[in-house]
Structure 1
């Protein structure tokens, strides 16, 4: 068995793709445990994923399933997705604090009264300073906690959620930590499935 702990850490950016391909070829022929915080490493090098948070396993399964339909907030963060958990009702997913999220059911949809999660990418989230009118059915009032560069755009975080917006939008809206905003996502961008 081969144990690799963060094999891509501290490597030159130009070297990483070549090493990933070499490792992919080598690992295909043997059993290995790869420890990583990089979703790309997990997708390319692993057929199964075990997500550990605070020393406990919070999720495990086939790589594609865990990273496209995470059931824990930590796994969703690793996969680069927003996750809201609650109970499924006839009116959508309802969180413990009363937030209602409307979305499209996954192939195996949630059952009324049972725990469920709603997942959507930060790129599907629009940011406003006040709640907009119109067709979006999911609007969440947040206080911005951070604004960080993220591969050609800025990731705005608030209320446990993330939105990917352009630098121009951040400047025009004056988004900075402490600013009140509304994150809006269309129901068609949200996938809802059972939590377990």
Structure 2
């Protein structure tokens, strides 16, 4: 009887040991892609024969910047997203956007002004040949004033929309910048 109890005890211990070894599977660690920290948005405007206009918009401070453009004029526009939370280590987020081009989209909404925009020749394309709109060409119309709302969208569900909501995804940053278009 003692032999039987010892045998059952050994078998039970072996069974528990085997279950504990084989039931513990290694979980594949989930790769976390942290959202970008964006503290500053810069817009650079160039047009033939004029000096560059650069607008800085800080997302954590009051801003007085205003975009001033001429009517009926084309501008090459570059948007730059920066993380300046550590002044000793300023990070250009555009580099990450370009590395993860399929996961990002820049979108501009205009209110009170008539501006159309298209990708520039230097704008990066995603794997489906869709522009990201970091580098664009803006065409102004008549004199007016309003707001430019610039968005950086993370993981858009589509890259072909004419409204922010149509893109889906999450907004990494959104800034509203006053704009005036002056009569040429």
When the two structures are superposed, what TM-score results if normalisation uses the length of structure 2? Answer: 0.24
State the structure with bigger RCO (CA 8 A, min sep 6), 1 or 2.
2
Please tell me whether Structure 1 or Structure 2 has the larger radius of gyration of its CA atoms.
Answer: 2
When the two structures are superposed, what TM-score results if normalisation uses the length of structure 1? Answer: 0.23
